[in-house]
Amino acid sequence: MGLLATGELFNLARSRYIVEDAGQRSVSMMRILKACFSIFRYPMILLRGTAIGVGIGAIPGVGSSVANLISYGMAKRGAVDGDSYGKGNPAGVVASESANSSSEGGALATMLAIGIPGGGGTAVLLAAFAMHNITGGPRFIQDNKDIVYAIIFSNMGQALLLVPLELLFIRLCGMVVSVPIRYLIPGVLVLAVAGSYSLTGDMTGPLTLFVFSLLGWGMARYGYSTAACVVGMLLGSVVEGELVRSWQITGGQIEFLFGWPISIVLLAMLVLSLGWRPLKAFFRMQFARA
């Protein structure tokens, strides 16, 4: 909340509205419907975001909070007009929301197959099963075929029902751009502070929110990616825990990282992601000289 929400409020404090152009603040059903069909102008971004969402959603404990940020970051990094992302480019919305929506399908598949929730929504669903003495696990699909098919078809039904409901509700949500910033900032801050306090039950939450709000403002002010920072914090503890666990299983032999094809591929991808931009800039400079 501090990095992505309240930190951004400090940058908006110098504006009168979220959208300065008065003509762009009007919300109409015609513009909403036109925007719905415009997503198909970005088929590759849509398909890539969907694949990222399903893959990351299937990872236990990760879910959509990471999938949409990774999809957005990849789309922005690969775009020619990457600087326009976050300033009204609809491709960023397509990348983020396609991953966000499809991640729930991957999380649901993981929960049904092995009984491990892939995100917050599936964790609540698994808890609901436990309340009815239905145990999740590898035999869940085999022992509860009726429930599995009910979940699948009910998800199809709710997806169809949500289309008209969301088209009506989005017009109401879009009116937030017409609210002056001087009213919007106090409201969001109150909700953020109350939410952070409810998580810890003491002043640790609000103080953490304040510190990371300043950090988020500074990163946005000087061009650093807050999304990458959030992904690092969400995945860092998971990666570190699994690395220590694997190190203990192998008896302290760190060489195991180079003995499996999957770990070699992941390490290569990590090195490539860190060094891709410097290498790209280097080769571009060399070709320019030639």
Residue spans of the domains in the chain: they are 1-16+180-224, 21-178, 261-290
Residue 290: predicted pLDDT: 62
Q: Provide the residue type at 31 as one letter.
A: R
Residue 89: predicted pLDDT: 82
Q: What is the pTM of this model?
A: 0.64
Q: Cα separation of 277 and 289, whole Å?
A: 18
Residue with tokens 């919305």: 93
List per-residue pLDDT tens for the chain, 290 residues long: 788 777 777 777 777 877 766 666 677 777 777 777 788 888 888 888 888 888 887 776 666 667 887 888 888 877 777 777 777 788 888 888 888 888 877 778 777 777 777 666 777 777 777 777 777 777 777 777 888 888 888 888 888 888 888 777 877 777 777 778 888 888 888 888 888 888 888 888 888 888 888 888 888 777 777 777 777 777 777 778 877 887 787 777 777 777 778 778 878 877 877 777 777 777 777 777 76
Residue 62: predicted pLDDT: 64
Tokens matching residue 54: 């399903």
- The set of residues, in sequence order, having a beta carbon less than 8 Å from that of 160 and lying 6+ positions away, is none
Q: Cα separation of 106 and 122, whole Å?
A: 10
- Under 8 Å between Cβ of 2 and 216: yes
Percent of the chain as helix, strand, coil, to the nearest 5: 80, 0, 20
